[in-house]
């Protein structure tokens, strides 16, 4: 029988006994031990991540949203002596695509769209859809490339982080493309070099490559001065590549320095214009000229025809037209060496301007070599040798002096060594070694054979005569102080030779075409046979016409040297080079406000 006492006992046995520390202490200890162990592990892990791995994890996180962008330095300008820009840098944009990021973002978007079709009301999925443009057709058309070609490049290099879309876009055009929010399309700002006066300055200034480094001409010579130093900016991007915030300036950019050349852009333009006109008129291979300030050694102009346009990347295939012939090429200058031969003769003390030389019968045999004049000029004084351009007279003077007199003098005035220009690829010319200074070589040197010079060397030698025997080192940089000077020979001798050369530019001389109204002009022609391409002997029908002159002869200010290669038809220096000299010199004297030193001839009136 189920009595009340039994029921109470049964109920008490079905209730768990109350836990007490004395009986269940091990349970408390296990629970707290596990809790403390887990907490300790979390603390150790937190310490490891936040202290030991802090920099590494921060760098990984920053790398996902932060990058260091290049701040391109602005390349310095090249200016002429009057501060007219000859080379300037304009900002342009380059657009590129990150294929790896594009494909990843596209895959994520497609997954989201699939999920959204299953749950079209999900706000979370809708927020995950990027607001960028994945249309490659639209992107390709926007940047002007073939859509199929763009797809092929992305698929061929799916892990690439850089795919060029288009270079050298105008910034405003690049911004139009960027405003369409194409996925993973980035912009980089660069600078393109622009040359306002392209062809006249091309061989002198040279050009830069795609990254803005000078690779030719003065751009290469002064690259370290012009290019400056790029800066760096740490920036934050979103996952679509949009620049959100500039974090800090890592390194400030340093713009390149501007440089002022000694070149006068006006004279440079006139020089190229006349070289082109003269070269075309004479169907020549090329025409080159140099203009120097006789008082300072500054190069006022230096140009060559034919030229090229450095602003047009498609016009850089003609390497012959890209060469600065005035500095890089060397040649046998012909009779333009005779005034220098006269300086050496006068300096020797053996000759005076009135000394007589018998050039009959118009030829001179030295060993198995015959030197000839254009006819029998008879007895000539030193001026007559210059005016008539007598090879025989110059050779007889050279042979009457010690064999080393003329070569050593030529070396003294700058031949066979580079000038102070420092121009890339400059030629030093050639004077034969001392052991070959025999009579035949010295005789031919006297009238411009058996010696190679550059046009800048020839112009510098004449500038030394023009400045009264004082050499001013040639320079392409504008001078601001007193120019360096070194006396090479007596001023009296220089004046006497200038007087001799004046006879060349008047009637009866070899270059009356060089005369300029209102100015006394001194100069010398040169006509030389060119060496055969195989180096054996001289061509019978290929010539080089040269003229070097100075004005005003009473106090020379400007020296101009002109050389015309391979003229067809007329080829004498007085006919092909002197007219070019005359046009350049007359304009240069006017632009530089050089006073006249000769009365203008009265204008002839026509009787009706």
* 330's tokens: 């060397």
| ∠ Cα 41 46 52 (to 5°) | 115
Backbone angles phi, psi at 258, to 5 degrees: -80, 145
Burial class from Cβ neighbours inside 10 Å (0-12, 13-18, 19+) for residue 313 reads exposed
The string of DSSP codes covering 193-236 is EE-SSHHHHHHHH--B-TTS-B-SHHHHHTHHHHH-B-EEEEEE
User: CB 19: neighbour CB atoms within 10 A?
Assistant: 11
Which DSSP helix (H) or strand (E) runs through 459? Answer: helix 455-466
**Contacts (Cβ under 8 Å, ≥6 apart) of 287:** 275, 276, 278, 279, 304, 305, 562, 563, 564, 565, 580
- Kindly tell me the sign of the dihedral angle through the C-alpha atoms of 497, 522, 277, 422: positive
Which one is catalytic: 335, 389, 467, 588?
335
Helix axes 171-178, 136-143, angle to 10 degrees: 170
Contact 538, 530 (CB under 8 A): yes
Among this protein's residues, is 179 annotated catalytic? no
Contact 510, 546 (CB under 8 A): no
Side-chain-side CA neighbours of residue 346 (13 Å): 25
Catalytic (active-site) positions: 335
């Amino acid at each position: 029988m189920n009595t009340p006492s039994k029921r109470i006992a049964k109920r008490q046995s079905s209730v768990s006994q109350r836990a007490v520390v004395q009986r269940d202490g091990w349970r408390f200890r296990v629970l707290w031990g596990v809790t403390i162990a887990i907490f300790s592990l979390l603390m150790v892990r937190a310490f490891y991540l936040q202290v030991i791995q802090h920099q590494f994890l921060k760098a990984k996180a920053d790398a996902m949203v932060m990058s260091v962008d290049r701040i391109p330095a602005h390349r310095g300008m090249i200016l002429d002596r009057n501060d007219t820009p000859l080379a300037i840098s304009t900002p342009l944009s380059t657009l590129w695509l990150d294929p790896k990021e594009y494909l990843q973002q596209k895959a994520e978007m497609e997954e989201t769209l699939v999920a959204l079709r299953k749950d079209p009301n999900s706000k979370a999925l809708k927020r995950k859809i990027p607001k960028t443009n994945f249309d490659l057709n639209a992107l390709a058309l926007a940047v002007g490339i073939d859509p199929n070609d763009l797809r092929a490049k992305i698929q061929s290099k799916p892990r690439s982080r850089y795919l060029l879309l288009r270079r050298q876009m105008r910034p405003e055009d690049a911004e139009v493309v960027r405003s369409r929010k194409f996925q993973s399309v980035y912009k980089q700002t660069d600078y393109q070099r622009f040359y306002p006066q392209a062809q006249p300055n091309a061989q002198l200034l040279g050009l830069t490559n795609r990254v803005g480094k000078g690779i030719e001409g003065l751009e290469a010579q002064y690259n370290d001065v012009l290019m400056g130093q790029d800066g760096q900016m740490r920036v934050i991007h979103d996952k679509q590549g949009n620049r959100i915030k500039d974090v800090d300036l890592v390194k400030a950019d340093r713009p390149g320095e501007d440089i002022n050349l000694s070149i006068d852009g006006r004279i440079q333009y006139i020089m190229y214009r006349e070289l082109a006109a003269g070269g075309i008129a004479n169907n020549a291979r090329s025409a080159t000229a140099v203009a120097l300030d006789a008082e300072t050694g500054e190069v006022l102009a230096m140009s060559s025809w034919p030229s090229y346009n450095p602003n047009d990347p498609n016009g850089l295939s003609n390497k012959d037209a890209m060469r600065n012939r005035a500095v890089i090429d060397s040649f046998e200058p012909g009779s333009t060496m005779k005034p220098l031969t006269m300086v050496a003769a006068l300096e020797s003390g053996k000759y005076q301007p009135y000394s007589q030389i018998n050039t009959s019968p118009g030829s001179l045999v030295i060993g198995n070599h015959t030197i000839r004049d254009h006819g029998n000029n008879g007895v000539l004084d030193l001026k007559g040798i210059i005016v008539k351009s007598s090879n025989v007279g110059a050779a007889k003077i050279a042979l009457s002096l010690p064999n080393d007199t003329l070569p050593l003098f030529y070396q003294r005035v700058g031949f066979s060594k580079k000038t102070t220009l420092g121009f890339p690829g400059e030629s030093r010319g050639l004077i034969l070694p001392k052991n070959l200074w025999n009579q035949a070589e010295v005789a031919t040197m006297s009238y411009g054979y058996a010696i190679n010079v550059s046009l800048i060397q020839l112009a510098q030698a004449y500038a030394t005569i023009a400045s009264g025997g004082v050499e001013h080192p040639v320079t392409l940089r504008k001078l601001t102080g007193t120019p360096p000077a070194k006396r090479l020979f007596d001023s009296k001798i220089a004046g006497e030779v200038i007087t001799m050369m004046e006879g060349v530019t008047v009637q009866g001389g070899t270059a009356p075409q060089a005369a300029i109204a209102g100015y006394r002009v001194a100069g010398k022609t040169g006509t030389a046979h060119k060496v055969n391409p195989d180096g054996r002997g001289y061509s019978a029908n290929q010539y080089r016409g040269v003229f070097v002159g100075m004005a005003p002869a009473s106090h020379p200010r400007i020296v101009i040297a002109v050389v015309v290669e391979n003229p067809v038809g007329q080829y004498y220096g007085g006919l092909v080079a002197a007219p070019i000299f005359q046009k350049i010199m007359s304009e240069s004297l006017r632009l530089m406000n050089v006073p006249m030193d000769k009365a203008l001839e009265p204008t002839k009136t026509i009787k009706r």
